[in-house]
Structure formats: structure tokens, C-alpha cells
Structure 1
Amino acid sequence: MAYTGDVRVGGPPDVHELTHLVITKIAVGPMENNAYLLRCRATGEQLLVDAAAEAPRLLELVGGDGLVGVVTTHRHADHWGALAEVVEATGAPTHAGRHDADGIPVPTRVLVDDGDRIAFGRCELTARHLVGHTPGSIALVYDDPEGHPHLLTGDCLFPGGVGNTHGDPDAFASLLGDVESKLFAQLPDETWVYPGHGADTTLGAERPALSAWRERGW
């Protein structure tokens, strides 16, 4: 079956099979977070993005091949609830944005800045630092050499808008500005977006609404 990205807590994962990379999306509770297991086809090396909750389910997904790293997209607790248990079980190095690492209780081994690259096997992600939802949120870009880019956005971009900035107009302006300049301005409409909660989207589906988001202020 074709990948849709429609997953539910307690339900099966969905698998997006690319030429060089396999992206497996799973929803975990209690906050209906998405976690993503990325596997390099050439080497089998795996990277987990957001060990959010339900460590046993995440570890079952990882299987016997283990992890070469776990990336936490930002400091909010619903995105690292299973991190300690996953790291203890796998020994995987931890990665997080430099300006959010002090808010994550599991020590961060690799501090990530804007433009940094995270490699696993023959695949590579590029980090984009987006300020506003938190000080150190990162999005991760996989620039597929055989197709369009794929973008994991944490809680910075969803279908219908940017992430929650809790009514702070400066934080909203910062987040929308970063999303526009570092994502929409640099990536094509075909870019597939994998958010931290809920359904997937594409940049092309969201681009026409950017001015409306700015006008409404959230």
C-alpha cells in the first residue's frame, strides 16, 4: 500500500520507502506524538527522531539492528518521554539543538546548530534551527538524490500553520520568519513534511497560506 502518513496511537506504523532511505512513522501516546525511524538501505544503520513515549513500542520498531543515534527535535517533554529508556537499551548517541539541550534531562552528546549534518550510513540530514516554538527547535532535511526533499519539522510546522507560540507575538514572528526563510524559501513545493503530531503535508500545500498565517498571528 502507498504511504499516507496516517497513523494512530496503538495502531500500526506507516512506511515510506525511498530509493536510499526508509522512513517509518509511528504514533505514540499519551500526546499523540509522531516518532520516526530512518533506515539507510545501503548499510541498515538506523536513526530515531523523537523518542517521544512508549519506549517498548519504539524499541520493538528498532529491532535487533539498534540505533546509531536519537535526535530530539526540541525540549518539550512529550518529545523525549522515552529517550532515557531508549538510550539505555541501545547505547545510541543523543542529538539535539544547542539551545534546547539544557531543557532535555537526558544528556545531549551532539549539540546541533543550523546547517549541521547528521549522517547515518550513506544518508544524511541537514538541520535547520527554527526559533519561536522553543529557543532551540530543529527541523531535519533529507535531500533525496533520486527525488524531492523530505522534511521532519518537530512542532514548528504542521498542516495549517506553524507551531504554538503561546500568544507571544515576538515568538510567532520569529518562528514564521524562520520557517519562511529556512524552509519555504529554500525547498520546493514537492517537499514532504513529517510533523511532530498528526498528518503529513507538503510545502506546496501550505505555501499559499503563509500570508494568512502572518495576518492572523498564529
Structure 2
Amino acid sequence: MTYTGAVTAGGPPDVRRTSLLTITKASVGDIDNNVYLLRCRTTGEQLLIDAADEPTTLLALAGEGGLATVFTTHQHWDHHRALPQVVEATGARVVVGRDDAEGLPLPADVLLDDGDVVRVGKAELTARHLAGHSPGSIALVHRDPRGHAHVFTGDSLFPGGVGNTQKDPARFRSLFHDVKTKIFDVLPDDTWIYPGHGKDTTLGAERPHLDEWHSRGW
């Protein structure tokens, strides 16, 4: 089956494989939160991106392999509603951007800064701080050594634009700058984008619209 990234709450997950990772995408909760389970194909170590809701669903997704890490893309409530239950059940370490840690419902074990590396078994993901949707939003970038790059952007980048900055010009400028300089300017068009809600996209699909986004201010 070809991965599309089109999932719905209560529906089946979608799965793709890179040379190092198995990526499983599912949707949970009442506002279509995407969650991503990353599994090292060599060691079996697993990382969950955003314990957003439905802890039973998330624990079933992880299965008997358990979880080594739960990474929260940003502090907004809808992205960590199931975090306490998942951590209690698995003993996973809690990882979040430094400037968003106070917004979590439990203490973080690891605070990420821009450029830090998160490891999932043999695979590495680089943290990119994208300030604007929240103060400490972090995207994780995985460069597949035998394929294209994969970026888990939370609510900082979607098909059609950057994340919501509540019509605050300063926050928009910050987010647009960070997304452009840290994502678009350094990664190629075939880079796959995995957002916090809804469908996936690629940098190639979105790049022609950067000037439009900048002009409209959202």
C-alpha cells in the first residue's frame, strides 16, 4: 500500500518506512490531532510524537514494544491531553521545547533547543525551534540517508500556510522567518511534511506560495 497520510479519528493508521524508521500516523480526539509513532527498524525503540488524546489508542499503537520517548511538539492543550496516562503506563521520558515546558501537565525530562538531536535507536532527528505558534514549538527533522527528508512540524506548518499566530504581527513574522530559514531554505522540495492536524504535504507543493503567505500575514 502507498502511504498517503490521509487518516481520520477512529479510522486505521497509515504506515510508511524509511531506511531507518517505520512511521505510523493516526488521528485521535475531537479536533483531528495527528499522532506519529516512530520505530527504529534496527533496535525496535519507539518514540511517540504528541500524546494528544485517547491514551488507550496510543498505547495499543505502541503495542508490546512500549515507548522510550514521548515528544510534544508544543504546549497547547490539545497536543498533550493523554501525556500523563501514556507516561504512567510506559515510563517514557518526556521531551519538549525548552520554552514550552511550563505548559505541559507534568515535568519534562529533556528540554530541547534549536539544533539538538533526538535519537530513536539508530535514527537521528534534529530539533528546529520555530517560535510563533507557541514560544517553544519544535519541529523534528529526519534526513533519511537513503531517501528524502521527513519533518514533523506540529502546528507550525500546514498545507497552505504556517500555523495560527492569532493575528499578532510579531508572532507571524517570527514564525514565518523561522519556517522559511530553518525549513524551506535548507531542505529540498521532496521533503515530506507531517503536520499536527490534517493532511501531509511537501515543501515542493508549498514553496511557490511563500510570498503569498508573507503578503497576507498569516
Instruction: Give the structure-1-normalised TM-score.
Output: 0.99
Match of 2:140 in 1: 140
* Deviation by residue 1:157-206 (Cα, 9 ceiling, x = unmatched): 00000000001011001100000000000111100000000000000100
Which residue pairs with 2:89 in the alignment?
89
Letter in 2 for 1:41: R
Distance 1:28 1:146 in 2: 31
Match of 2:19, SS?
coil
Residue of structure 1 equivalent to 2:128: 128
CA RMSD of aligned residues (A): 0.5
In structure 2, the partner of 1:72 is 72
- Counterpart of 1:24 in structure 2 is 24
> 2:147 is aligned with what amino acid?
G
Q: Which residue of 2 aligns with 1:14?
A: 14
Which residue pairs with 2:170 in the alignment?
170
Q: Which segments of structure 1 move beyond 2 Å, counting only runs of 4 or more?
A: none
SS at match of 2:99: coil
Query: Whole-Å Cα distance in 2 between the matches of residues 16 and 2 of structure 1?
Result: 8
Note the C-alpha offset of 1:209.
Answer: 0.2
Match of 2:100 in 1: 100
The answer for the alignment partner of 2:51 in structure 1 is 51
Counting only pairs closer than 5 Å after superposition, residues 183-198 of structure 1 correspond to structure 2 as 183-198=183-198
What is the distance in 2 between the residues matched to 1:120 and 1:198? 25
SS, match of residue 43 in structure 1: coil
Name the SS of the counterpart of 1:205 in structure 2: helix
Structure-2 separation of matches of 1:78 and 1:60: 20
Q: Distance in 1 between matches of 2:33 and 2:98?
A: 22
Q: Partner residue of 1:152?
A: 152
SS of equivalent to 2:87:
helix
Secondary structure at the counterpart of residue 81 of structure 2: coil
Report the AA paired with residue 190 of structure 1: D
CA distance in 2, matches of 1:20, 1:117: 16
Quote the residue 2:60 is aligned against. Answer: 60
Deviation per CA, 1:119-145: give whole Å up to 9, x if none: 121011100001100000000000100
The Cα of 1:31 is off from its aligned counterpart by: 1.4
Could you tell me which residue of structure 2 aligns to residue 112 of structure 1?
A: 112
Q: Indicate the SS of the match to 1:99.
A: helix
Q: In structure 2, the residue corresponding to 1:37 is in which secondary structure?
A: strand
C-alpha distance in 2 between matches for 1:199 and 1:129: 22
Q: Which amino acid aligns with 2:109?
A: R
Query: Percent same amino acid among aligned pairs?
Result: 63
AA of the residue aligned to 2:145 = P
Query: What displacement does 1:7 show?
Result: 0.0
Q: How high is the TM-score relative to the length of structure 2?
A: 0.99
Deviations 1:41-78 (A, max 9, x none): 00101000000000000000000111110000000000
In structure 2, list runs of 5 or more residues that go unmatched.
none
The structural deviation recorded for 1:19 is 1.8
Task: Tell me by how many angstroms 1:105 deviates.
Answer: 1.4
